[in-house]
Homo-oligomer: A and B are copies of this chain.
Amino acid sequence: MTKEGILLVLSGPSGAGKGTICQELLRRYPELNYSISATTRAARVGEKHGVNYWFVSREEFENMIKNDELLEWAEVYGNFYGTPCRHVKDLLQNGKDVVLEIDAQGATQIKKRFPQGVFIYIAPPSLDELANRIHKRGTDSLDVIKKRLSCVNNELTYVHNYNYIVVNDEVQEATNKVLSIITAEKCQVVRNDNIVEEILTNFNK
């Protein structure tokens, strides 16, 4: 029997750097599979359909909800975001690891369906630094930035739903920590019934 893959959920307030860490993870651990979310928001400059997101219409999204094709979904800042189910489940069952990059609301829904998932909260080092990063990105209007920051405090209260917290002071260092978390999780006794059985069987021969 194939050992089930690990579902890695990266979450945290907008601007904490989960996107950058996710890219670094995929570069340094290419066997990891990125779960592409569906969204009704407009693509930012450089973003591609089927790479960064599945960009869909509101009607298409509502159909996916109706047909129970989403692992989680949420409305954030007036747009829908969600995780198509089937692909993630297939990968995990075939022993592949999958990373999801989603907000705290989505993570809470995922946790109900996948309690064995590994939930990592990416935290910004400070509010000043967070505001800085969102400004630098320059993709959001001032109104949206204000909206984002006012939601941050609320987001942070979700931290106790997560298994791990990684403060993103420096991207490489934070990525090292996430890679260590993956390695450690793969060593957990509860994920290694097969190895334990195998050793015990060998000893009982």
Contact = CB atoms under 8 A, between A and B. Distances in A.
Interface stretch (A56-64, A79-87, A180-188): A180-188
Nearest to A119: B189
B165 A204 contact: no
Interface string A183-203: 111011100100110011011
As for how many copies of this chain the complex holds, the number is 2
A160 interface: yes
A153 interface: yes
Interface residues of A, number: 38
Chain A residues touching B, majority SS: helix
A167 interface: yes
Given A156-B199, A157-B200, 4 more contacts: A124-B199, A156-B196, A160-B189, A164-B189
A184 B204 CA distance: 34
A203 B162 contact: no
Interface of A: 120-121, 123-124, 126-127, 152-153, 156-157, 159-160, 162-167, 176-177, 179-181, 183-185, 187-189, 192, 195-196, 199-200, 202-205
Given A152-B203, A184-B183, A196 B165 contact: yes
Given A184-B183, A199-B123, A189 B165 contact: yes
A179 to B, nearest CB: 8
Contact of A127 (B167, B196, B202): B202
Contacts of A205: 127
Contacts of A179: 180
A148 to B, nearest CB: 13
A97 to B, nearest CB: 15
Contact of A184 (B127, B153, B181, B203): B181
A189 B153 contact: no
